[in-house]
Amino acid sequence: MDTYKIIEIKENVFKDNERQADLLREELKKDKTFLLNLMSSPGSGKTTTVLRTIDALKDEMNIAVLEADIDSDVDAHTVAQTDTKVIQLHTGGMCHLDADMTKQGLSELGTEGIDFAILENVGNLVCPAEFDTGASKNAMILSIPEGDDKPLKYPLMFSIVDVLLINKIDAIDIFDFDIEAVKERVSKLNPNIKVIPISAKTGEGIGEWADWIRTEIKSWNQK
């Protein structure tokens, strides 16, 4: 009988990425740079939320942004209009970033003097949830038009994030969306998750979101 070895490639890839992610977090810790991994579906309002976040915190801390996309530099161009340090990352067709890609981006960007870095991940509710980027905290945006059933359809994403922003609440009267149902569903997946309803368009809820960031950065620097 032939003998052969079975290699669990997916498991090995994940384990290697987790090691790299832990090393990157250690490096960021030494540099006192807080990295936020922001994830969502396409069209949820990630970039608009990033712009609101920059505006709320720019006078208190040095901010940088890493924009990840399969192609184009539209988002980086938009963020650059705020005079924020920004770099565009092209994934070459991949639907997510991993720790090594994130480290490459941070190396090119330069984290010296950066207090808060935002990684705007590729728009996708599947792949980005599977790969640790080395971020200090994970956040995601669920927009009102997407529906309140998304935690049932993409449980992994909702289970690995520290904070959920429910965006486009200015449009809630137009859609059949139950915020309380979302809170109940995500709390079953992730009891420690923080849920913050916002409107990146009007600015509603951005103050609470900015306060969460301030608290997390302070805690990160005191550990």
- The pLDDT assigned to 94 comes to 77
Closest CA to 221 of 26, 33, 15: 33
Note whether residue 74 is domain-resident: yes
- Tens-digit pLDDT profile for residues 26-67: 999 999 999 999 999 999 999 999 999 999 999 999 999 999
| Domain count within the chain | 1
Note whether residue 190 is domain-resident: yes
Note whether residue 11 is domain-resident: no
CA distances from 181 to 111, 151, 191 (A): 39, 10, 14
Please give the Cα distance from 30 to 32 (Å, whole number). 5
Note whether residue 8 is domain-resident: no
- Checking if the pLDDT of 5 tops 60, the result is no
Note whether residue 7 is domain-resident: no
Note whether residue 12 is domain-resident: no
- The pLDDT assigned to 10 comes to 53
- The pLDDT assigned to 126 comes to 93
- Checking if the pLDDT of 16 tops 70, the result is yes
Mean pLDDT value across residues 99-117: 93
Q: Coil, strand, or helix at residue 35?
A: strand
CATH number, domain of 97, equals 3.40.50.300
- Tens-digit pLDDT profile for residues 58-99: 999 999 999 988 777 888 889 999 999 999 888 777 778 899
Structure tokens at 48: 């608009």
pTM: 0.92
- The pLDDT assigned to 181 comes to 97
Note whether residue 14 is domain-resident: no
- Checking if the pLDDT of 130 tops 50, the result is yes
Please give the Cα distance from 91 to 83 (Å, whole number). 24
- Tens-digit pLDDT profile for residues 175-198: 999 999 999 999 999 999 999 999
Structure tokens at 100: 């090594």
What range defines the domain where residue 78 resides?
19-222
Note whether residue 215 is domain-resident: yes
- Tens-digit pLDDT profile for residues 197-221: 999 999 999 999 999 999 999 999 8
Closest CA to 186 of 140, 152, 217: 152
- The pLDDT assigned to 6 comes to 46
